[in-house]
Amino acid sequence: MKIFLILLKHEYDGMFLPLAIIVAIMAVLQLILFGGALRGDYINAPFSHYVNSAGISSVFAVAYAGLLVLMGIRFLRNYTPAKSIYALLTLPVKRQHIYMTKLVAALFAGLVLLAAQMLLILIIFLQFRIFGQDIRNANLYLSLLEVGFLRLLFPPDVFSLIITLLSFFGSICVTFFIAAKLKSGRIISPIFLAIAWLLLMLTAFPIGHFTTPTNIFILILMITIPFAASIRGIKLFESGEVAR
């Protein structure tokens, strides 16, 4: 356990600076874009309208995609001539633990980015309360229900919360598996998996009722795919098909 925690700290430390840069750029862009939207020609527009017009969700999507790319690159860079992965494999720890430390560190980084975005929304709302044109439209709760992106960050029900967590953290599990498959020499299957997962997330975001058969089926897929990808990724790592 001690070695596992040391490896986990090592992985997260290596990810901290790029993560901090991504969060900083995301924050600056969103605050600037929202400030520009407030100076627009909208009269008595609600908070949700400004969030949509400022492109807040697009900035977050790019930031999260950048984080996923960073995770994949860090995984693949272990196989550069420096061969850092081979140094890790000499430690008295199971190969599956090495894979898991990378995955857990990435999941924590994703949580940090998600928390930063939630805090930014609250800061942006405060900015709207101070500089907005009509304080009567500063209803945060209604805005959370009106804007799909805000419902994703602040889920109004348990099912929406589960979809949010599976979307964010499932994407990280799938990204690691895709990186492992690419390193093992497979190209076609990772492409199909990436497309399938993206389509699944786009289908899952608009749903809002837990009881329908379609929603339950989507939920099962969003649980099964990341879990299966993580298990298969560990097996690829343990067999030496990746780390060779």
pLDDT at 81: 45
| Lowest model confidence (mean pLDDT) among 82-86, 105-109, 232-236 | 82-86
Mean predicted confidence (pLDDT) in 97-107: 82
- Residue-wise pLDDT for 24-55, tens only, equals 999 999 999 888 887 766 666 777 778 888 88
Report if pTM > 0.85.
Answer: no
Q: Helix, strand, or coil here: 187?
A: coil
Distance CA 162, CA 132 (A): 33
**CB 175: neighbour CB atoms within 10 A?**
26
Distance CA 134, CA 95 (A): 58
- Residue-wise pLDDT for 185-213, tens only, equals 777 878 888 888 888 888 876 665 556 77
